[in-house]
Amino acid sequence: MLGEGPAIVNPGTGGILGVAMTTFTRGLSGFLTILTLGAGCSQVPTYMVSPAKGQTPQQMDNDKFDCNLQAQKQTDYNPDKSLTNGALVGLLAGGALGAGLGAAAGVSAGIVGTGASVGAIAGGGLGATLAGPYLNDKDLNQTQRAYYACLETRGYTLTR
């Protein structure tokens, strides 16, 4: 009959590594939730730019473009590349740290390679998630200030 065999609903967690990874994953999910909520609160102010000296819409677009390039050169910051570069740095550093921690957790269970693999994947993902936005926003405020200052010198008014 179908109901006579032993039912294994929840198999074992794999020893100390399974317990450690379960605890790590639960703590990580809470931390990422808090981080995601905090990341939504940007510290960079945005302004409405309007012509104060009768500039045409075409002139305003040209000035915005020129001021954007000038601000990026002045602060040595490119927002298009900073997110990718930050994510790559975080991926490598987090992956290395995660592999070390995972290998250390796997020593007692005799599965060092598996622990290192799991740790590298988790650490790399976390590192890319944290470092990418951090390095992207690090110099953004300074670049925004330079951008808006350039527009003010060209005769535009800024309102929040």
Kindly report, residue by residue over 53-69, the tens digit of the pLDDT.
899 999 999 999 999 99
Can you give the pLDDT at residue 37?
46
d(CA 102, CA 28): 14
Q: Please, are residues 122 and 95 in contact by the beta-carbon 8 Å criterion?
A: no
Q: Are 61 and 151 in contact (CB under 8 A)?
A: no
Structural contact between residues 85 and 135, judged by C-beta atoms closer than 8 angstroms: yes
Which residues are within 8 A (CB) of 132 and not within 5 positions of it... i.e. 6 or more apart?
83, 84, 86, 87, 90
Phi, psi of 55 (to 5 degrees): -70, 145
Indicate the SS3 state at residue 55: coil
Q: What is the pTM of this model?
A: 0.51
pLDDT for the residue numbered 40: 47
- Give the separation between CA 5 and CA 55, rounded to whole angstroms: 82
Regions of the chain short of the pLDDT cut 50: 10, 35-41
| pLDDT tens digit sequence for 101-113 | 777 777 777 777 8
